[in-house]
């Protein structure tokens, strides 16, 4: 038998806003819809409600009751991201999830009895998961979508409707519970029908003859019959968080403060789905008109908020948007975090996720071109190199003995090469064209008479093109100690590009 | 008379002063250590015969033993003289400092350590403050570049922060080369080195700090200096010269568990030197160019022995 759970967030516009601004949780806050005199309250916090503010009050009425009332407009971005977050929580329970909009989700929980001791336990787990993402979730479980939704609307959550007892459960409830926006409810109340049970007891044909097709549907619903199937949704290709700002922001720090909270929410949602962020896109709405978009490719999939925030900061510092920001949205393109099988007997392997986070943090601290895997490059010039993303192969299954070192002499490369002045002498009196270095005049240690000079060796690269590179190399040992690699470039200038050590 | 009369009380007084004060030995209460074994494992062992029970190992014990073995291991650099000074190689979970100015063979030692670690299948890191690595030469030296993370910070502070971050990630060998004298940017606080050593210890990382002058202070497990070096050239008279090798004298200045003062020397042969160079110079063949001569000095100055530099 099919069992459906309804996850419902009461006062959804307010809950979505408080999720983005949790510091307002204890304040008297109302969410208003409309502008100017038409602005009216659509949701209010408990503190505002206890003062007498109700849904439908105009903003002026509400402020006359409570002058210090905090009013926020409905934020479609907040509500959309809250709905997505709720869907993602639901997907951790079952892959079959239907998005009913406005803080209502239906979840097919058939076959979940093996994972939870009871349906009540499942309901409590869903409420806890909702709390984790900052949304107060109510849960109702029944065999039909209608009964599950009505159960979820009741204050004492979770409410479980036993299989086959839907009609019995609905009978004592007022007609308004059946469908809040039911036009026929007034007509039915004029007939003296107040509860769902009273409607269910009437003959279906009589109701249908008086109210038409709507009457037939209402009568079926009152008997607990809901033939509508669950329509599961497809997984989204990206995760989005954002916010419309109360006033335009011009400084970086306040913006990053708000973006940090959005990234935090994004990281939690990614974690729920077992994803990490590979690419972060940000769109900022600018004042008075226009928008600014940018994308940050992360060096490795990560969920580390600090890393993402640092990369965001660096990017914004490098290219500021150029106008005050009125709204923003962050889109995380998900990727599976790197996984690896660890070995008991081989060398200790690195945790791929930890490595990815560390590399991302290093890149944010040092810059993209300062961290990676060194690569050799074909060519003749000695200081050539390339950098690639660090992705080490998996360690061997069993430990290996180290290979005996070749004991080669290393050259410590100077990047960039150090310019020096050189005093030369003829290599041999009988060959005047051949020269050797007699002394070097540079800064610090790179100065002094030369004990031994050896060379030159000609190195040439790119002879086929205009900007070819040709150098004459010498190895020299200074009297004061230290062996260096010296070269003379195209412009007859002398450089030291390495020290042997 | 008066002298003797005054001397006796003084003597008595002295005896009283120097009388040994009775020392009350603190009572050591032996508290039984909590057994690492779970109750069900212990019960299982009790039901088995002693010979069989001795051969039964629980997974927890196995993991602990493996972890203990890993931490007690060393990562050899395969430079015999260097490894001999440190008792087998770079100890895991410890920080070793290699100091030496000018052409003291520091960078060759660093590459040898990286080559050995990557050849074992371990991932290694070079934090290269001066941006001195030549990937071609590193590969020639046997470094598996796929397993080497190359980090090029711009300041010493960034270098120390990067090293700490990387050591906490679980790399088995991290080499911090701070480059040439003078070191870029000013020194970092001593506490940074202590924190770095603790991070290495917590994660079982072998940490080698290569520096032109002592930096890590008391935080390091061992300090090896490579001060004197001799460059050897091929060719005599009017014949052109060819750089053949550099021989470096190493000395153990400080070690927490070994006697300081041990010496050794390592010869690094130039890449283009002919095969006969090493044989001619130090009696070893080309495949084994390092030479080990470990000897203890007869009388070592106290300052040097204590590693107070």
3-state secondary structure at position A324: coil
Dihedral, CA of residue B72, residue B78, residue B81 and residue B85, to nearest 10: -10
pLDDT at A111: 82
Which two structure tokens, joined as six digits, stand for B166?
């990387």
| Alpha carbons A30 and A13: distance in angstroms, whole number | 10
Query: Which strands, in side-by-side order, build the sheet including A70-73?
Result: A40-44, A29-33, A70-73
B26 touches chain A (CB under 8 A): no
If DSSP states are collapsed to H, E and C, what string results for A183-219? CHHHHHHHCCCCEHHHHHHCCHHHHHHHHCHHHHHHH
DSSP chain B: -HHHHHHHHHHHHHHHHHSPPPP-PPP---PPPPPSS-HHHHHHHHHS-HHHHHH---HHHHHHHHHHHHHH-EE--S-HHHHHHHTSSEETT-EEEEE--SSSSHHHHHHHHHHHHHHTT--EEEEETT----HHHHHHTT--GGGEEEE--SSHHHHHHHHHHHHHHT-SEEEEE--SSSPSS-PPPHHHHHHHHHHHHHHT-EEEEEESS--SGGG-SEEEEEEEEEEEEE--TTSPPEEEEEEEEEEEEEESSS-TT-EEEEEEE-TTS-THHHHHHHS--TT-------B--SS--HHHHTT--
pLDDT at B293: 38
ipTM attached to this prediction: 0.71
Can you give the pTM of this predicted structure? 0.62
Chain B residue with Cα closest to A359: B166
The answer to whether B137 and B111 are in contact (CB under 8 A) is yes
Q: How many CA atoms lie within 13 A of B16 on its CB side?
A: 6
Instruction: Considering only the beta carbons, identify the residue of B120, B152, B287 that sits closest to A370.
Output: B152
pLDDT at A428: 67
- pLDDT > 90: percent of chain B: 34
| Alpha carbons B52 and B101: distance in angstroms, whole number | 59
Segment 434-463 of chain A within 8 Å of chain B by CB: 444-445, 452-454
- Comparison of pLDDT for B276 and A428, the residue scoring more: A428
Q: Do A407 and B170 count as a contact with CB atoms less than 8 A apart?
A: no
| Residue where the block lists tokens 């503190």 | A47
- Comparison of pLDDT for A170 and B239, the residue scoring more: A170
pLDDT at B3: 45
A342 touches chain B (CB under 8 A): no
DSSP A26-57: TS-EEEEESSGGG-EEEEE-HHHHHTT--TT-
Count of residues making up chain A:
501
pLDDT at A235: 66
The answer to whether A138 and A158 are in contact (CB under 8 A) is yes
Q: Do A410 and B268 count as a contact with CB atoms less than 8 A apart?
A: yes
Mean pLDDT per segment of 10 residues, for chain A of length 501 residues? 87 89 86 85 89 87 88 86 88 87 89 84 91 90 87 88 84 76 71 83 85 81 79 78 87 90 90 85 89 83 84 83 90 78 69 79 86 89 86 83 85 91 79 79 88 86 79 90 89 90 87
What is the band of B37 on the pLDDT scale with cuts at 50, 70, 90?
low
Q: Do A501 and B104 count as a contact with CB atoms less than 8 A apart?
A: yes
Averaged over B95-117, what is the pLDDT?
A: 90
pLDDT at A180: 55
What is the band of B239 on the pLDDT scale with cuts at 50, 70, 90?
confident
The answer to whether A492 and B271 are in contact (CB under 8 A) is no
pLDDT at B240: 77
Q: Do B153 and A481 count as a contact with CB atoms less than 8 A apart?
A: no
Exposed e or buried b per residue across A441-475, where buried means at least 16 C-beta atoms within 10 angstroms of its C-beta: ebeebbeeebebbbbbeeeeeeeeeeeeeebbbbb
Backbone angles phi, psi at B199, to 5 degrees: -65, -45
| Alpha carbons B97 and B90: distance in angstroms, whole number | 10
| Alpha carbons A51 and B207: distance in angstroms, whole number | 64
Which two structure tokens, joined as six digits, stand for A427?
């290599």
User: pLDDT at residue B35 above 60?
Assistant: no
pLDDT at B309: 30
Instruction: Considering only the beta carbons, identify the residue of B66, B233, B288 that sits closest to A404.
Output: B288
A115 touches chain B (CB under 8 A): no
pLDDT at A311: 82
Average pLDDT of every residue of chain B:
77
Min Cα distance A13 → chain B (Å) is: 42
The per-residue pLDDT for range A445-491, each reduced to its tens digit, is 888 999 988 888 888 887 787 777 888 899 999 988 889 999 998 78
Q: How many CA atoms lie within 13 A of A149 on its CB side?
A: 22
- Comparison of pLDDT for B255 and A191, the residue scoring more: B255
* Residue B251: how many other CB atoms lie within 10 Å: 21
- Of the candidates A329, A331, A321, A332, which has an alpha carbon nearest to the alpha carbon of residue A249? A321
The per-residue pLDDT for range B4-32, each reduced to its tens digit, is 445 455 445 444 444 444 545 545 445 45
User: pLDDT at residue B276 above 70?
Assistant: no
* Residue B24: how many other CB atoms lie within 10 Å: 6
Min Cα distance A31 → chain B (Å) is: 45
Chain A residue with Cα closest to B89: A402
| Alpha carbons A325 and B227: distance in angstroms, whole number | 60
Instruction: Considering only the beta carbons, identify the residue of A361, A444, A483 that sits closest to B103.
Output: A483
| Alpha carbons A280 and A304: distance in angstroms, whole number | 12
| Strand pairing class (A469-478; A448-461) | antiparallel
The answer to whether A34 and A138 are in contact (CB under 8 A) is no
- Of the candidates A287, A307, A413, A422, which has an alpha carbon nearest to the alpha carbon of residue A360? A307
- Of the candidates B140, B281, B110, which has an alpha carbon nearest to the alpha carbon of residue A406? B140
User: pLDDT at residue B290 above 70?
Assistant: no
3-state secondary structure at position A156: coil
User: pLDDT at residue B69 above 70?
Assistant: no
pLDDT at B148: 95
- Of the candidates B270, B249, B263, B274, which has an alpha carbon nearest to the alpha carbon of residue B298? B263
Count of residues making up chain B:
309
Query: Which strands, in side-by-side order, build the sheet including A4-8?
Result: A97-101, A104-108, A4-8, A138-142, A159-160
What is the band of B114 on the pLDDT scale with cuts at 50, 70, 90?
very high
User: pLDDT at residue B287 above 50?
Assistant: no
The per-residue pLDDT for range A201-235, each reduced to its tens digit, is 888 888 888 888 878 888 888 887 777 788 887 76
A196 touches chain B (CB under 8 A): no
End-to-end distance of chain B based on CA atoms, in angstroms?
A: 59
DSSP assigned state of A342: -
DSSP B52-76: HHHH---HHHHHHHHHHHHHH-EE-
User: pLDDT at residue B255 above 50?
Assistant: yes
CB pairs under 8 A between A and B: 227
| Alpha carbons B291 and A276: distance in angstroms, whole number | 51
Which two structure tokens, joined as six digits, stand for B128?
């290269």
End-to-end distance of chain A based on CA atoms, in angstroms?
A: 78
* Residue A208: how many other CB atoms lie within 10 Å: 16
Instruction: Considering only the beta carbons, identify the residue of B158, B180, B238 that sits closest to A428.
Output: B238
Exposed e or buried b per residue across A19-44, where buried means at least 16 C-beta atoms within 10 angstroms of its C-beta: bbbeeeeeebbbbbeeeeeebbbbbb
What is the band of B303 on the pLDDT scale with cuts at 50, 70, 90?
very low
- Of the candidates B216, B87, B116, B236, which has an alpha carbon nearest to the alpha carbon of residue B160? B216
Which two structure tokens, joined as six digits, stand for A110?
């058939």
A385 touches chain B (CB under 8 A): yes
- The burial class, CB within 10 Å (0-12 / 13-18 / 19+), for B283 is exposed
Exposed e or buried b per residue across A60-84, where buried means at least 16 C-beta atoms within 10 angstroms of its C-beta: eebeeebeebebbbbbebbbebbbb
pLDDT at A432: 57
Name the maximum alpha-carbon separation found in chain A.
128
pLDDT at A380: 83
Q: What angle do CA B225, B230, B235 make, to 5 degrees?
A: 160
**A58-62, A379-383, B80-84, B145-149: which has the minimum mean pLDDT?**
A379-383
Q: Do B134 and A385 count as a contact with CB atoms less than 8 A apart?
A: yes
- Of the candidates B43, B82, B85, B35, which has an alpha carbon nearest to the alpha carbon of residue B61? B35
pLDDT at B2: 44
The answer to whether B253 and B304 are in contact (CB under 8 A) is yes
* Angstrom distances, CA of residue A259 to CA of A76, A308, A325, A326: 17, 10, 12, 13
- The burial class, CB within 10 Å (0-12 / 13-18 / 19+), for B21 is exposed
Separation of CA A299 from chain center: 14
What is the helix (H) or strand (E) element at residue A269, kind and residue range?
helix A252-273
Q: B239: which residues sit within 8 A by CB, 6+ positions away?
A: none
pLDDT at B301: 36
The per-residue pLDDT for range B190-209, each reduced to its tens digit, is 899 999 999 998 888 999 99
């Amino acid at each position: 038998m099919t069992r459906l759970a309804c996850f419902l967030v009461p006062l959804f516009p307010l809950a979505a806003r408080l999720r983005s601004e949790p510091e307002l949780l204890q304040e008297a806050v109302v969410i208003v819809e409309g502008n100017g005199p038409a602005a009216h309250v659509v949701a209010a916090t408990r503190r505002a409600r206890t003062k007498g503010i109700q849904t439908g009050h105009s903003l002026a009425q509400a402020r006359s009751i409570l002058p210090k009332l905090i009013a926020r407009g409905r934020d479609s971005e907040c509500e959309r991201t809250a709905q997505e977050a709720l869907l993602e929580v639901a997907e951790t329970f079952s892959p079959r999830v239907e998005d009913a909009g406005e803080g209502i989700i239906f979840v097919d929980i058939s076959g979940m009895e093996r994972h939870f001791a009871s349906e009540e336990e499942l309901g409590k787990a869903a409420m806890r998961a909702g709390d984790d993402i900052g949304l107060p979730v109510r849960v109702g479980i029944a065999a039909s979508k209608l009964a599950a939704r009505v159960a979820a609307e009741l204050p004492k959550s979770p409410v479980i409707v036993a299989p086959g007892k839907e009609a019995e459960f609905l009978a004592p409830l007022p007609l308004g519970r059946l469908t809040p926006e039911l036009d026929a409810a007034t007509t039915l109340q004029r007939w003296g029908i107040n509860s769902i049970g009273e409607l269910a007891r009437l003959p279906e044909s009589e109701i249908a003859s008086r109210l038409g097709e709507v009457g037939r549907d209402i009568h079926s619903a009152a008997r607990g019959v809901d033939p509508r199937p669950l329509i599961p949704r497809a997984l989204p290709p990206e995760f989005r968080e954002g916010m419309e700002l109360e006033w335009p922001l011009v400084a970086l720090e306040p913006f990053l403060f708000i973006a940090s909270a959005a990234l935090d929410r994004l990281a939690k949602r990614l974690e729920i789905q077992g994803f990490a962020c590979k690419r972060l896109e940000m769109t900022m709405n600018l004042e008075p008109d226009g928008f600014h978009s940018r994308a940050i490719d992360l060096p490795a999939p990560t969920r580390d908020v600090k890393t993402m925030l640092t990369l965001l900061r660096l990017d914004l510092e490098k290219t500021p948007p150029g106008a005050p920001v009125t709204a923003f949205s962050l889109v995380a393109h998900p990727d599976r975090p790197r996984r690896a099988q660890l070995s008991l007997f081989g060398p200790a392997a690195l945790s791929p996720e930890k490595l990815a986070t560390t590399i991302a943090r290093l890149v944010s601290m040092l810059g993209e071109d300062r961290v990676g895997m060194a690569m050799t490059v074909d060519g003749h010039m000695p200081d050539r190199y390339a950098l690639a993303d660090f992705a080490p192969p998996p360690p061997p299954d069993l430990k290996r003995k180290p290979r005996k070192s070749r004991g080669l002499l290393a050259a410590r490369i100077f990047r960039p090469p150090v310019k020096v002045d050189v005093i030369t002498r003829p290599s041999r009196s009988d060959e005047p064209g051949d020269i050797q270095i007699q002394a070097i005049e540079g800064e610090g240690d790179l100065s002094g008479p030369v004990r031994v000079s050896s060379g030159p060796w000609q190195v040439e690269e790119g002879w086929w093109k205009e900007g070819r590179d040709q150098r004459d190399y010498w190895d020299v040992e200074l009297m004061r100690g230290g062996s260096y690699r010296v070269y003379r470039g195209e412009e007859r200038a002398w450089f030291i590009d390495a020290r042997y050590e | 008379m008066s002298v003797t009369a005054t001397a006796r009380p003084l003597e008595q007084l002295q005896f009283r002063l120097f009388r040994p004060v009775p020392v009350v030995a603190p009572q050591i209460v032996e508290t039984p250590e909590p057994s690492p074994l779970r109750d069900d494992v212990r019960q299982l062992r009790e039901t088995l015969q002693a010979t069989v029970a001795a051969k039964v190992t629980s997974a927890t014990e196995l993991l602990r033993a493996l972890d203990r073995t890993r931490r007690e291991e060393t990562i050899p650099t395969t430079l015999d003289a260097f490894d001999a000074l440190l008792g087998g190689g770079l100890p895991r979970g410890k920080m070793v400092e290699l100091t030496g100015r000018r052409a003291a063979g520091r960078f060759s030692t660093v590459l040898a350590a990286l080559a050995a670690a990557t050849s074992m299948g371990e991932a290694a890191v070079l934090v290269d403050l001066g941006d001195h690595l030549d990937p071609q030469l590193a590969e020639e030296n046997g470094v598996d570049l796929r397993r080497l993370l190359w980090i090029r910070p711009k300041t010493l502070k960034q270098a120390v922060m990067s090293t700490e971050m990387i050591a906490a990630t679980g790399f088995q060998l991290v080499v911090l080369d701070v480059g040439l004298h003078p070191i870029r940017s000013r020194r970092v606080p001593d506490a940074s080195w202590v924190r770095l050593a603790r991070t290495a210890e917590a994660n079982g990382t072998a940490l080698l700090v290569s520096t032109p002058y002592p930096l890590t202070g008391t935080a390091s497990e061992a300090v090896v200096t490579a001060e004197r070096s001799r460059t050897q050239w091929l060719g005599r008279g009017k014949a052109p010269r060819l750089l053949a090798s550099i021989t470096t004298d190493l000395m153990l200045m400080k070690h927490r568990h070994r006697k300081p003062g041990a010496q050794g020397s390592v010869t690094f042969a130039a890449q283009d030197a002919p095969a006969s160079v090493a044989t001619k110079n130090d009696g070893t063949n080309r495949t084994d160019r390092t030479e080990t001569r470990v000897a203890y000095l007869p009388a070592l100055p106290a300052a040097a022995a204590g590693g107070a530099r």
